[in-house]
Structure 1
Amino acid sequence: MKDTVKYYVVKEKAIPEVLLKVLQAKSLMEKKELTVQEATERVGISRSSFYKYKDDIFPFHDNAKGKTITFILQMDDEPGLLSGVLKTIARYHGNVLTIHQSIPLNGVATLTISVDIAPEVGDAAAMMGSIEKKDGVHYFKILGRE
């Protein structure tokens, strides 16, 4: 059975302190061009904690709709599978800005896709969850949001 990743919206008071500090460190690194070591020392966490959680927590913005999300996925190299992913993006009112597919190796292709989520009608979380659950999709990770 395939493991699926679930996304949750949680109030800040329910988030463990270490995760909030990871967010602080990420913010410091973006704004002040600090190294991981410098940022983690400032917020009071270990580098190992930072690396453990850095890809799993992102700030939630109420205005997330109308934003760009870039993600990477690995999927089987089968006819129609990419078309199904693109239809899913369209169903959730996403507009593909860029798409890059590597040459498939051992029957698996790696794709990087940037999607603009339509304001007011787009649902990024539902779109990502639906793509991740598709048969033939083995790996899904958000690379960035704007």
Structure 2
Amino acid sequence: MREKKPDKKFYLVREDVLPEAMKKTIDAKALIDRGKVDSVWEAVQKVDLSRSAFYKYRDTVFPFHTVVKERLITLFIYLEDRSGTLSNLLTTVASTGCNVLTINQTIPLQGRANITLALNVENMEVDIEELLKRVRQLEFVEKVEVLGSGV
């Protein structure tokens, strides 16, 4: 009787703490997926990575947006308490094609309000990283956290 292998654990890790070989593997996979290269050899050459490192990491590192199978995401956002901030935030989110499912806002305290947004990203026109970038660039946004994704 074969012994059952334990389930693999997954972690969400910030890009800046990944080893360079993992980052380059993600870049090489993106070149292949987008059809910018004709072979693994060409992809690893373009990103200056060894083929052995590529094959070591190719099935273990993925950009966040590729592993989000459900098309829902929940964001927790810290906003400065100023007139029009929620409206501007929602306009930015809507401009990406997201559909806002729920909005929860705390009562502003000490000049800050906390917003929780549940979004349907099924028809989003940009990837999740771009959505987060656009929200973080709003001058009244202090911090954005991805609370999770799921149904």
Cα distance in structure 1, aligned partners of 2:69 and 2:100? 14
Q: Which whole-Å deviations, capped at 9, do the CAs of 1:59-89 have from their partners, x for residues lacking one?
A: 7353748611101011111111111110111
Tell me the amino acid that sits aligned with residue 22 of structure 2: A
The alpha-carbon deviation at position 109 of structure 1 amounts to 0.3
Note closer, same or farther for the CA distance 1:121–1:7 as it changes in structure 2 (3 Å cut): farther
Count residues in correspondence: 99
**Deviation at 1:90?**
0.7
* CA 1:61–1:104: 2 relative to 1, 3 Å: closer
Identify the residue that residue 114 of structure 1 maps to in structure 2: 118
Residue 29 (structure 1) aligns with:
none
Partner of residue 100 from structure 1, selected from 79, 104, 113: 104
Structure 2 match to 1:75: 79
What 5-or-longer segments of structure 2 have no aligned partner? 1-13, 24-60
Q: Distance in 1 between matches of 2:126 and 2:98?
A: 6
1:14 and 2:27 equivalent?
Answer: no
1:136 Cα deviation (Å)?
Answer: 1.1
Distance 2:141 2:106 in 1: 15
**Closer/same/farther in 2, CA of residues 79 and 103 from structure 1, 3 Å limit:** same
Rg comparison, structure with higher value: 2
Give me the whole-angstrom Cα distance separating, in 2, the residues matched to 1:122 and 1:96. 15
Q: Say what the alpha-carbon RMSD is for the aligned residues.
A: 3.2
8 Å Cα contact 1:65/1:117 also seen in 2: no
Q: CA deviation at 1:122?
A: 4.4
Contact 1:66 1:116 in 2 (8 A): no
Q: Which runs of 5+ in 1 are unaligned?
A: 1-5, 16-56
User: Are 1:62 and 2:66 counterparts?
Assistant: yes
> Following the alignment from structure 1 to structure 2, what is the Cα–Cα distance between the partners of residues 58 and 145?
16
User: What residue in structure 1 maps to residue 95 of structure 2?
Assistant: 91
Structure 1 length-normalised TM: 0.56
Q: Verify the 8 A CA contact 2:135 2:141 in the aligned structure 1.
A: yes
TM-score, normalised via structure 2 length: 0.55
